Amino acid sequence: MIQSRAFGWAFFGVWAVWLFALHAWIGGGGSPLTDTPARWMPDLGLVLALSLLARAEVSDAPWIALIAAFARAAFSSEPPIVLLTGFLGIVLLALVARSAVELTGPLWRALAALLLVFVFDLWLAFAHSMRLPVGFESVPFSVFASWPAALSSALLALLLGPLLAHLPGLTPLRRRQW
């Protein structure tokens, strides 16, 4: 049992790394705040984490956040502590939402992905703006810059959410009892 769960976590890490690498490769390293194609790229790894979280135990939530943050840190310019804080916040919000609605249902899964990817992107934009030197001219922060990625992530969660949660190797982590 313990060995199979350890393999499940390793497989989750591998799938998350691959999805974040694919996200970085397709996005071409563009900035989601300025580049139009990068703005519409769904957050593949975050949708995977949310799909798995909908079927995992509450005690697994910190592990999902930690592994997803490490996987994204390998392909991101954001500091790992910012990513970890963002993923922990998203996982907490997903657990709150999961206590009120069934996140495995298509409509709720898509709506949760829409809102949680939007909040995560807002967190990253806020953290980026806090790291800029005082008086530094940059791209103005806009709340609307995060909507395209959130909408495409919601569509991805609607169409492929169950498939992502049932990727090979993730079975030991999907053990939530109804």
Q: What is the pLDDT of residues 76-93, one digit of tens each?
A: 888 999 999 999 999 999
CA distance 129 to 65: 23
Within 10 angstroms of residue 177's Cβ, the number of other Cβ atoms is 4
Quote the number of domains for the chain.
1
- Distances from the Cα of 143 to the Cα of 16, 41, 83, 130, 153, angstroms: 27, 17, 19, 15, 17
Residue 65, Cβ density class (10 Å: 0-12 exposed, 13-18 middle, ≥19 buried): buried
pTM, two decimal places: 0.86
Within 10 angstroms of residue 145's Cβ, the number of other Cβ atoms is 18
CA distance 135 to 121: 23
CA atoms within 13 A on the CB side of 12: 31
- Show the tokens assigned to 164: 């992502």
Q: For residue 178, is it within any domain?
A: no
CA distance 82 to 69: 9
Boundaries of domain holding 153: 2-173
Q: Is 13's pLDDT higher than 80?
A: yes
The whole-number average pLDDT for the span 109-116 is 94
Given this model, what pLDDT does residue 178 score? 42
Q: For residue 14, is it within any domain?
A: yes
Q: Is 173's pLDDT higher than 80?
A: yes
